[in-house]
Every structure is written in C-alpha cells, then in structure tokens.
Amino acid sequence: MYRDIALERSVGLGIDVSDLSKTLGDSLAGLGARIPYERNSEIFGEDEPADYVYVVLSGAVRTYNILTDGRRHIEAFHLAGDMFGLETGADHRMAAEAVVKSNVLVVKRSALFSQLGRDPELGAELWHQTARNHERARAHMLVLGRKTAQERLVAFLLEMSERLASKTSLDLPMSRQDIADYLGLTIETVSRMLTQLERDGLIGLPTCRHVELRDRSALRSLNS
Amino acid sequence: MYRDIALERSVGLGIDVSDLSKTLGDSLAGLGARIPYERNSEIFGEDEPADYVYVVLSGAVRTYNILTDGRRHIEAFHLAGDMFGLETGADHRMAAEAVVKSNVLVVKRSALFSQLGRDPELGAELWHQTARNHERARAHMLVLGRKTAQERLVAFLLEMSERLASKTSLDLPMSRQDIADYLGLTIETVSRMLTQLERDGLIGLPTCRHVELRDRSALRSLNS
DNA sequence: CGCAGGCTTGAGGTTCCTCAACGAGCGTGG
DNA sequence: CCACGCTCGTTGAGGAACCTCAAGCCTGCG
C-alpha cells in the first residue's frame, strides 16, 4: 500500500507519522505560492472550478456547505499540514474560508499532477492525505449520526487537543457558531454543554476561546 | 491529477466514468480471490488487522461502528464496484458485514501494494476510489449534521437511485434498521417518514423493500 | 469609558425518540 | 393447502433532547 511506503520511510528515518503532512507541504512548496488570508476571508466558493489544491501552512481553514434556506454545515477544520480542496470532479463541492489569519500553500492542480511523474513519493503522500481526511470524516459521521450533544462536545475537544498537539491547554481558533455548525448543533446548545462540562469539573474555561482539559480520562469515557 | 488520467482514458475509450470502479475490480481480479458471503455474515470486525482490501462484485456490504452502549452507526453501504476496508493504519476502524448474499473480491494489501509498481493506472484508480468514498462521506455528513428526518430519507432514496442506476424503481437491499442506523434516526422515524412520503404521492411502496420514485423533481427540491 | 460582537442563560416549543401494541409477509411444517 | 410462528415493519401515545426566541452579559478594543 501507499501507506506502507510512507510508513516504512518515516519509520526508517525516525520521523513520526504525524509529520508526513509537513512532508506534503515541503514536496509542494516549490510548485505553488504561499498566500496569506485574513480572518473570515474566502479561499474558494462552492461550484467554483477546482483548479487549485491547498495546504494549510499556518492558521485554520473551514470547508462548508450552505443549504438553500441558510443552514450551514462545516465539513472540516483544516489545520497546519492539512490538505484541502482536492476534488475528483471539475468543481469544488464546498466553500473554504480562513477561520483566523492563515497562510496557505496554493498549488495548481495540473502542476501537482505533472509532478506526480517526477516524485514517486508524492503519490503516496497524496493518497495518505486523502485517506486521512476520509478517516476523519468517518469518525465525524459517527459523532453526527449517533452521539448526544454532550458527547459531541467531548469528541470535539479531544479531537482538537490531538490535532493542536496540546496536552491540556487548548486555544480554539473557531467561534461557538463554527463549533455548532461543525457538530450539527445550535450555538446555544454548544454554550450550555461547555458550561455544564465546566461545572462538572471536566474542563476549565478561563476565556471562551481557551479550554483546559481537566480530566482527560473522564472525557474519554464520555466519548463512548 | 490522478482523476485526470482516469477521466481522459475513460472519455477516450467512450467509457462512462461510473464504470471506473469496475476497472478497479478488473485490475485486481488476478490478485485476489472472489469470496461469497451470506446475508448478515461478517467480513471483518473492528480492530482486526487490515491486511486485506475488498471490492464488492455483487450484492451489498455495510461498514459500521458500534458504541459501547450498543448504538450502531452505519458509515456506508458499498455496492457493486465499490472498494472498502482500506485503512491508513494497521487495523480496521470499522466492521463490515454483507447486507445480502454478496460476492466480494478479497485482495491482500501487500499484493495490491506491490502491484502498484507494475500497473501505473492502478494508483490512479486507487486514489479515485478513496476520493470518491470521501466525497460520499462529505455529502453524508451534511445530511447527518443539518437535515431533517424527511430530508434524510429523501437524500437516501435519491442516493440509492443514482447508485443502483435505476430510474424510478428501487429494490433496496437493506432493512429499515439499516437505513435508520445509516441516517442517524430510529427505525420508527424511518417508517413514518416513508409512509408520509407515500401519502404525499412522492413515492410508492408496493412492498417494503421496493420503492418507486413518483415525483423526482419534488424529491429533489426537498433535498435542499 | 462606551460600543459592538460574541457568548451565556432562560422559557417555551418542536422534532424526534422511547415504549408498546399491532399487522404484514414469508417460510415451515402439519 | 392452510395454519402457525417468526421476523420485520407500521402505527400510536407520551416523553426527552435539542431548538427557537429573547434578553442580558461579558470582553476586547477603539
């Protein structure tokens, strides 16, 4: 498998698997441009041609859909090292915006494609990124399909603490509304559940964007 | 992009893009074994080693998770031509069962991997399968995160009518419980919503597994 | 210090779930 | 061939979880 290449290589070099994503940014750095985006600025819109592929260098990006009546659903948050915007079809199926001031590597799809012939490892990294995004999506479907509001918040906090690589202290880049639209809840429910987790002593909320995971094992047991 | 190869080739040969999946089965046919599974029989379990990759030849397969308290969520239904069971890690994150009597092509992961060097198109097909599974997951997250029970049923019926390639007449391989666990609902709600869609004249239900789409445009407008 | 945007809290309503009973379809066996 | 039982699906009544609407409160910033 593609993954096996990547795994062997990274084990061989003593690199942690989580660093693979950085490798993708490195492999592509020469092919594209680093573009800064302001908070809440659009990176691409739904139904626009998907001629470019994106890698987050710093900051955070949300990809989302909006239904005809205005309901919004955030499909994913993309953090440093994550690839987004790659489609099988000609157009984007989602829109993308910077959650906070972010730097994004923008690579022409055709350039990435032609590079595939020259760099044999690139194909593996590309597949690995796609597969990892899919795995996150699968885990998230379980959250959306079968978990309660409290469990969703716990799952979200644990996911973010892993991905932001912070042991107990989390600086969330996104607003309550973003969290709600990611978890399939309303902003009020998100707020209430966080308050409740704080009252129960599982987390601390010194400021609204800063979360401290006080009892990780209790949180994990709430995560089913 | 990988997709571009596949697209060019299939257009050049006058093959519909939806046939690409069959190409994957064809490419792998020599590498693995065709194994028949009975209705509801297990193909693999959660946390088992992911040493094999699977392609549905006929029938239907469900991949799912079960939470500690018994709640089940079906991540996806896999129909003829679909690949499943490919992981980035060493173990399966989901279990898989045959929904109905099915034939499945089972390929050793390592065999698939070594074949990648010999067959340059295989990498493209593999990426395309993964990306397509991911796209289905993204669409499904929107359903689970932001759609009402009625909209979920409509989305499900339209998805199945596309994937089963049937214009108006659907023979569903799965039970009401399967549908409920796929859509994040209960079996009772699924039943009620189908009954309501029938009363409204949007669908027909001659038998409970057979659905006729009576008013496709009305259904589409309910799909936001 | 005052404003604006985002966050929290409360009260009441809606959707969907839970629990329970009934019914339809189908294979088996008398 | 029909009765029987079993599984699966449907329907109803009541309840719980989450949403909606509304108000008030921080907090960061000019």
Distance from the first to the final alpha carbon of chain A = 31
Q: What is the DSSP letter of B190?
A: H
Least Cα separation, residue A44 to chain B (angstroms): 17
Nearest neighbour of A134 by CB, restricted to B110, B130, B142: B130
CA B147/CA B164 separation, integer angstroms: 23
Which A positions 73-92 lie with beta carbon below 8 A of chain B?
73, 75, 86-89
- Mean pLDDT, chain A cut into blocks of 10 residues (224 residues total): 40 40 77 95 98 97 97 98 97 98 96 90 91 98 98 98 91 97 98 97 95 96 94
B110-160 pLDDT tens trace: 999 999 888 888 988 999 999 999 999 999 999 999 999 999 999 999 999
Q: Determine, for residues B72 and A113 on separate chains, whether the beta-carbon distance falls below 8 Å.
A: no
Strand C: which nucleotides have any atom within 7 A of a protein Cβ? Answer: 6-11, 15-20, 25-26
Minimum CA–CA partner of B133 in chain A: A134
Whether B28 contacts chain A with CB within 8 A: no
A177 touches strand C (CB under 7 A): yes
| Site of tokens 């009620």 | B192
Calculate the alpha carbon distances from A183 to A70, A77, A149 in Å. Answer: 16, 11, 8
- Strand B83-84 relative to strand B60-66, pairing: unpaired
Q: Which H or E run contains A197?
A: helix A187-199
pLDDT at B8: 40
pLDDT at A4: 42
CA A193/CA A195 separation, integer angstroms: 5
Please state at what angle helix B109-118 crosses helix B120-146, rounded to 10 degrees. 130
Nearest alpha-carbon partner for B190 in B142, B143, B150:
B150
Whether A16 contacts chain B with CB within 8 A: no
B188 touches strand D (CB under 7 A): yes
Let me know how long chain A is: 224
Least Cα separation, residue A34 to chain B (angstroms): 20
Residue spans of beta strands (DSSP E) within B109-191: 169-171
CA A175/CA B118 separation, integer angstroms: 49
B165-217 pLDDT tens trace: 888 999 999 999 999 999 999 999 999 999 999 999 999 999 999 999 999 99
Please state at what angle helix B176-183 crosses helix B187-199, rounded to 10 degrees. 100
pTM: 0.92
Report chain A residues whose CB lies below 8 A from the CB of B139. 93
Minimum CA–CA partner of A108 in chain B: B1
Q: Determine, for residues B113 and A2 on separate chains, whether the beta-carbon distance falls below 8 Å.
A: yes
Minimum CA–CA partner of B152 in chain A: A145
CA A171/CA A154 separation, integer angstroms: 15
Across chain B, mean pLDDT equals 90
CA A106/CA B55 separation, integer angstroms: 34
Question: Do B209 and B190 meet the contact criterion of CB atoms below 8 Å apart?
Answer: no
SS3 B24: helix
Nearest alpha-carbon partner for A50 in A87, A83, A17:
A87
Minimum CA–C1' distance nucleotide for A188: C8
